[in-house]
Amino acid sequence: MGRLFGTDGVRGIANADLTAELALGLSVAAAHVLAEAGSFAGHRPVAVVGRDPRASGEFLEAAVVAGLASAGVDVLRVGVLPTPAVAYLTGALGADLGVMLSASHNAMPDNGIKFFARGGHKLDDVLEDRIEEVYGEHRTGAPWNRPTGAGVGRVKDYDEGFDQYVAHLIGVLPNRLDGLKIVLDEAHGAASHVSPEAFSRAGAQVITIGAQPDGLNINEDCGSTHLDLLKSAVVEHGADFGIAHDGDADRCLAVDGSGAEVDGDQILAILALSLRERDALRENTVVGTVMSNLGFKLAMEREGIHVVQTAVGDRYVLESLKEYGYALGGEQSGHVIVLDHATTGDGTLTGLLLAARVAATKRPLAELAAVMDRLPQVLINVPDVDKSRVASTPELSAAIAEAEAELGTTGRVLLRPSGTEPLVRVMVEAADIDHARAVAGRLADVVKSTLG
């Protein structure tokens, strides 16, 4: 059995890779590992379980709830809510763990399981490795120590979670959004009801698209991975700007009033300046990743803000924020973490804070986003390759070195195995878009020929 946990939980095709048996077994294993670590000492454990609207989430939720209850964990089932809502409620309710069933931006056939520890923080690698180990031991025949009688977990629906989370979001805002017309693309996902409710309560005039989830249409030609519908809607309705989430709403991308994309780096830059103005940007530092556009780093340096870069993945951004006490970090993809108010990327919170900045400054989003110039950046996903050999193939290493020498100081190259999908991401940044495309295309061909 290969490693189950990737950079963002366990993912796979639901009912093929990610089965009910696996979901149940991992949930039982997680309960035992957390008990082993002393997380449940002296009290009866409680878990918060939520999901996105995927059809497969219905049976996977049942399996997770069954596994936890069979291990003696009481379960609060919060239903369809964003990943950051489950993380928030795990902390706010004092629960011992949280479980979110979602494959985020992935296509509908996929699903995933993400565990949160007490406080709503993602489990660290050591605990995930131990969960896999314990699951493997019992999958091969070692019996579980199961409670009986009154020791089994109890299950109840926690319908208050929706309003509790929306109230939290509204409470974070430094100012209202009155006078703004905003288009929200909910990706037919977990924020389809939460996000419009929050923006409306904050005073914005809201127009929604992609907000009719039926279990099968999540992320389908909409949301943060498909911005064309949002761009058209913003222009059609004469909106101030638009916000796009992904399936579990831990991401936020934006579109300005002209229909131009505002990516995660630009959003991060805008929020960094906003937090600094309110003396909330601790250590005058913002955390990005190695995928952050060079234009972001240059803009922050020009503004006197220090940039720390981590490996790709919001968990690594979060680790840096927690370790050094920084307040803000995120990724170009739209994962933004405002640590004073969230323990994970929160797309709805990010969108609200972005809107609050527009409302407070009375400046259009395009003008705020112009704080940085995006260098042309080309990203090619190369599927169906052996991503484990990226760093150990001489021919590929030589091709990367050649590309880096060709770009010199005006660009850069990054090859990264996906943490959630069987593919390698080739990123090339250059002063000229055609040059970036040419170099990226050549490298992608080498990846296919050497790792395919």
Known binding-site residue numbers: 104, 246, 248, 250
Rounded to 5 degrees, what angle do the CA atoms 248, 420, 135 make? 95
The per-residue pLDDT for range 178-200, each reduced to its tens digit, is 999 999 999 999 999 999 999 99
CA atoms of 414 and 84, how far apart (whole Å):
29
Given this chain, do its domains 163-369 and 377-451 carry the same CATH topology? Answer: no
What six digits make up the tokens of 216?
Answer: 């099968």
pLDDT at 39: 87
Any idea how long the chain is? 452
The third-level CATH classification (topology) of the domain covering 5-159 is: Alpha-D-Glucose-1,6-Bisphosphate; Chain A, domain 3 (3.40.120)
**Tens place of pLDDT for every residue, the chain, 452 residues?**
457 888 778 999 999 999 999 999 999 999 999 998 888 988 999 999 999 999 999 999 999 999 999 999 999 999 999 999 999 999 999 999 999 999 999 999 999 999 999 999 988 889 999 999 999 988 877 788 899 999 999 999 999 999 999 999 999 999 999 999 999 999 999 999 999 999 999 999 999 999 999 999 999 999 999 999 999 999 999 999 999 999 999 999 999 999 999 999 999 999 999 999 999 999 999 999 988 998 898 899 999 999 999 988 888 999 999 999 999 999 999 999 999 999 999 999 999 999 999 999 999 999 999 999 888 989 999 998 888 888 888 999 999 999 999 988 778 899 988 876 788 999 999 988 999 999 999 999 999 999 98
Query: HSE on the CB side for 243, CA within 13 Å?
Result: 35
How would DSSP label each residue in 229-272? Answer: HHHHHHHHHT-SEEEE--TTS---EEEETTS-EE-HHHHHHHHH
Phi, psi dihedral angles at 257 (to 5 degrees): -65, -20
Q: Please report, for residues 198, 244, 267, 366, the alpha-carbon distance to residue 182 in angstroms, rounded to integers and kept in the order given.
A: 12, 11, 16, 14
| Residues contacting residue 438 through CB under 8 Å, at least 6 positions apart | none
CA dihedral 72, 74, 80, 81 (to 10 degrees): -110
* Eight-class DSSP state of 120: S
pLDDT at 6: 82
As a CATH number, domain 163-369 is 3.40.120.10
CA atoms of 271 and 377, how far apart (whole Å):
22
pTM: 0.89
Domain ranges of the chain: 5-159, 163-369, 377-451
Q: Which residue type is seen at 143?
A: P
Residue 104 annotated among the catalytic residues of the structure: yes
Known binding-site residue numbers for Mg(2+): 104, 246, 248, 250
Q: Are 54 and 213 in contact (CB under 8 A)?
A: no
CA atoms of 406 and 411, how far apart (whole Å):
9
CA atoms of 251 and 349, how far apart (whole Å):
10
The third-level CATH classification (topology) of the domain covering 377-451 is: TATA-Binding Protein (3.30.310)
pLDDT at 38: 87
Catalytic one among 104, 192, 224, 292?
A: 104
Q: Residue 405: which H helix or E strand, with range? A: helix 394-407
What six digits make up the tokens of 74?
Answer: 């009481």
109: helix, strand or coil: coil
Q: Residue 30: which H helix or E strand, with range? A: helix 20-36
